[in-house]
A and B are shown apart, each in its own frame.
Chain A
Amino acid sequence: MKSKLALAIILATAATTAVSGPVEEQIRFRQSAYSFLGWNTGKIKKQVVDHPETFNKDYVAAAANAIAAVANSGLGELYGPGTDQGTGWKTTRLKPEFFQKKEEVTAAANTFNEAANDLARVAATGDINAIKTQFGKVGESCKGCHNLARIKE
């Protein structure tokens, strides 16, 4: 009996591992994805908000496309069970409540995805004022999810 249970556990673990990697790997990729987002939002902020005189349409469009690509990559896969505990590049800051608030978080994530795709569309036009407005919406959507799902240190 005990060995059957152990076997079941091993198989179940192996199954989740096969799909999305062990817990720590999910956390590590998640943190990498968000860091990369932060790099790109920083670039847009610099050229569109802080120093509009340096605005370069292609540079900003590339950053916006990178953000949209990450948004469309299916980050939900990196939020497997148990990933509120563990260490990726550093100890995870995912709130345990994430798993109880699934609907709210899904809504927040979808808001972000839509805002990011809209930003990529607007960035392609090179209209700096429209980009700035849409960039603000993306920033709000990042913040909305952080307020909901990310532990304040």
Chain B
Amino acid sequence: MKVTIHIWDLPLRLFHWLLAAAVVAAYITGKLGGNLIDWHGRIGALILGLLVFRIIWGFIGTTHARFINFFPTFSRLAAYLKGGWQGVGHNPLGALAVFALLADLAVLVSTGLFAGDDIAFEGPLFNLVDKALSDKLSGWHNLAFDLLAGLIAVHLAAIGFYRWVKKTNLVVPMVTGKKQVPKAVATSLTGGGALRFFTTVIISGAVVWGIWGGLEIIKPVESAPATVAKPSF
């Protein structure tokens, strides 16, 4: 006997699809360069905001969005692999993928902040490190992206596997927020709420604003004040 429950809240679904679109856009702008590279920075800022949002929402969001409710502990993983896991949110293996995706995204965004393309684009914190370190971090930024591409491939393959082998559609619930589950394990989401949502959005926005120049301490130092005359050749 199956019942329909509310599984993914609206902020979480918005987060998911915005992130997916932004990652594709960041990839294209990062690879092509030219005048699009400034959009790479703007999209990167959006992704940083989304990531901060998701981390906070993982603590104060609704039931199935909370990290503690799907953290892949050894006992949960073991139970899942033996076929004894029961639940409705991310299964323990899927949860592993979620944490890997979020962790790699964090590496990608944080290295990007210090990266530079040696042409005409730098992350907002480029001036905080020396050039050799920035070059290293730019390299890691590339590696972190390659890893992300791999993780996304696994993510999509798993969704395909569920769709065609296990006959479970995971995409529709991420759009509508509703899922059909066995009655025995059905727990609709609770928690969240407008106040927590807006607080989370404000904190995420503040982090992005601070990093992109809002905080005086991390503003780049001008090479010389405009009043100091330089030689005229």
Contact A139 B31 (CB under 8 A): no
Interface residues of A in 121-153 (CB under 8 A from B): 132-133, 135-137, 139-140, 142-144, 146-147, 152-153
Contact residues in B for A82 (Cβ distance below 8 Å)? none
Contact residues in A for B63 (Cβ distance below 8 Å)? none
Known: A42-B120, A45-B120. A140 touches B135 (CB 8 A): no
Distance, CA A42 to CA B35, complexed state (A): 13
CB distance from B226 to the nearest CB of A (A): 11
CB distance from B39 to the nearest CB of A (A): 11
Q: Is A109 an interface residue (CB 8 A)?
A: no
Contact B33 A143 (CB under 8 A): yes
The one of B33, B139, B142, B143 that contacts A140, using a Cβ cutoff of 8 Å = B33
Interface size class of A (residues with CB under 8 A): 20 to 34
Known: A38-B119, A49-B120. A139 touches B35 (CB 8 A): yes
Contact B33 A41 (CB under 8 A): no
Distance, CA A143 to CA B40, complexed state (A): 14
Contact B35 A146 (CB under 8 A): no
Contact residues in A for B150 (Cβ distance below 8 Å)? none
Instruction: Return the chain B residue nearest A141 by Cβ.
Output: B34
Contact with A along B131-165 (1 / 0, CB 8 A): 00001101100110000000000000000000000
Contact residues in B for A34 (Cβ distance below 8 Å)? 118
Contact residues in B for A132 (Cβ distance below 8 Å)? 35
Interface size class of B (residues with CB under 8 A): 10 to 19
Contact residues in A for B120 (Cβ distance below 8 Å)? 41-42, 44-45, 49, 135, 139
The one of A41, A42, A146, A153 that contacts B139, using a Cβ cutoff of 8 Å = A153
Distance, CA A136 to CA B117, complexed state (A): 14
Contact residues in B for A146 (Cβ distance below 8 Å)? 117-119
Q: Is B113 an interface residue (CB 8 A)?
A: no
Interface residues of B in 156-179 (CB under 8 A from A): none
Known: A41-B120, A42-B120. A152 touches B138 (CB 8 A): yes
Distance, CA A87 to CA B135, complexed state (A): 16
**A positions within 8 Å CB-CB of B:** 34, 38, 41-42, 44-45, 49, 132-133, 135-137, 139-140, 142-144, 146-147, 152-153
In the complex, 25 of the A-B residue pairs with CB atoms within 8 angstroms, ordered by the A residue number, are: A34-B118, A38-B118, A41-B119, A45-B120, A45-B121, A49-B35, A49-B38, A132-B35, A135-B35, A135-B120, A136-B34, A136-B35, A139-B34, A139-B35, A140-B34, A142-B118, A143-B32, A143-B119, A144-B33, A146-B119, A147-B31, A152-B142, A153-B136, A153-B138, A153-B139
9 other A-B residue contacts (CB within 8 Å) besides A49-B35, A139-B35, A143-B119: A38-B119, A41-B120, A135-B35, A139-B33, A139-B37, A139-B120, A153-B135, A153-B136, A153-B138
